[in-house]
């Protein structure tokens, strides 16, 4: 089982996430490498919102292949190349996450591994046995 940890002794989360997530059951872990806006056919989505959508679709496909869903996410790492993109990718995140509130980190970097990549997301998920 997972439990969000947001005690009053630390600042409240600055967005829709948990400060920490406790995992307290035997189960299976899934560590997902950074997903980008590249479709299964190798084509790159155009623009940051489209790249975020495809990256989230890729993440959910990997969760599904492991018998998991967004409710099993315990940690997300999101990477952007421009802080201004946050307003465009936050609604994408909300659409895919729903009520799930995994621990999360957002990093704005000058660039990702390839200059055409505008968005990347990595994840850790846990499913209790």
76-93 pLDDT per residue, tens: 999 999 999 999 999 999
In this structure, is residue 108 part of a structural domain? yes
Q: What is the model's pLDDT at position 29?
A: 94
In this structure, is residue 97 part of a structural domain? yes
* Residue 97: C-alpha distances to residues 14, 24, 40, 42 (Å): 16, 22, 22, 25
In this structure, is residue 47 part of a structural domain? yes
In this structure, is residue 118 part of a structural domain? yes
Residue 78 has phi, psi (to 5 degrees) of -115, 135
In this structure, is residue 71 part of a structural domain? yes
Quote the CA–CA distance of 19 and 4 in Å, as a whole number. 8
Q: What is the model's pLDDT at position 22?
A: 87
Local confidence band at 21 (pLDDT 50, 70, 90 cut-offs): confident
Domain residues for the domain of 47 are 32-128
Ramachandran bin of 63, using left for φ above 0, alpha for ψ from -120 to 50, beta for the remaining angles: alpha
In this structure, is residue 53 part of a structural domain? yes
In this structure, is residue 12 part of a structural domain? no
Total domains, the chain:
1
Q: What is the pTM of this model?
A: 0.89
Supply the CATH number for residue 90's domain. Answer: 3.30.1330.40
Residue 102 has phi, psi (to 5 degrees) of -70, 160
In this structure, is residue 55 part of a structural domain? yes
């Amino acid at each position: 089982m997972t439990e969000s940890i947001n005690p009053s002794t630390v600042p409240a989360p600055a967005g829709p996430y948990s400060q920490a997530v406790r995992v307290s059951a035997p189960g299976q872990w899934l560590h997902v490498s950074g997903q980008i806006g590249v479709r299964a056919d190798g084509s790159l989505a155009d623009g940051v919102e489209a790249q975020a959508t495809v990256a989230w679709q890729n993440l959910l496909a990997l969760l599904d292949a492991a018998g998991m869903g967004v409710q099993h996410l315990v940690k997300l790492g999101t990477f952007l190349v421009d802080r201004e993109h946050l307003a465009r990718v936050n609604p994408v995140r909300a659409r895919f996450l729903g009520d799930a509130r995994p621990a999360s980190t957002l990093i704005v970097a000058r660039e990702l591994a390839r200059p055409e990549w505008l968005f990347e997301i990595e994840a850790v998920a846990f499913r209790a046995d």
